[in-house]
Amino acid sequence: MPDNLISVQMLGTSFSLKSTENLDYLKEVVAYYEGKVEETRKGVSLQDPLKIALLSGIVLADELLKERSRQSGSLSGPEAEEAERITRALIDKIDSILQ
């Protein structure tokens, strides 16, 4: 499968991604991540683009793990709420340390 190339401009920097994935899929992935970055940027008092990108990655990892747990059925309602509380506390702690 041929390589596809997509240009990305985010958080004051630009770069290209090269992948064998479908170009429309790549655009969807980048758009989703850009949305998470913007959501994170608006939700914290950080200005450092690297820190915003890192926190966005943590938020995405949290989403992924929760979805995996939901699909496997390993977390019940109260357990999921506790995981959410702990995750939010960790993000807040990271946010306060990085400031």
pLDDT at 37: 95
> 0.75 cut: is pTM over it?
no
75-83: Cβ within 8 A, 24+ apart: none
Average pLDDT over residues 41-60: 92
Q: Sorting pLDDT into bands at 50, 70 and 90, what band is 70?
A: confident
Average pLDDT over residues 64-76: 77
Q: Which residue has the higher pLDDT, 75 or 26?
A: 26
Average pLDDT over residues 30-54: 93
Residue 74 has pLDDT above 70, yes or no: no
Please identify which residue in the block is written with the tokens 């190339």. Answer: 5
pLDDT at 89: 84
What DSSP element (H or E) covers 14?
strand 13-19
pLDDT at 75: 61
CA 73 to each of CA 8, 11, 65, 69, 77: distance values in angstroms, whole numbers, following the listed order: 36, 36, 12, 6, 10
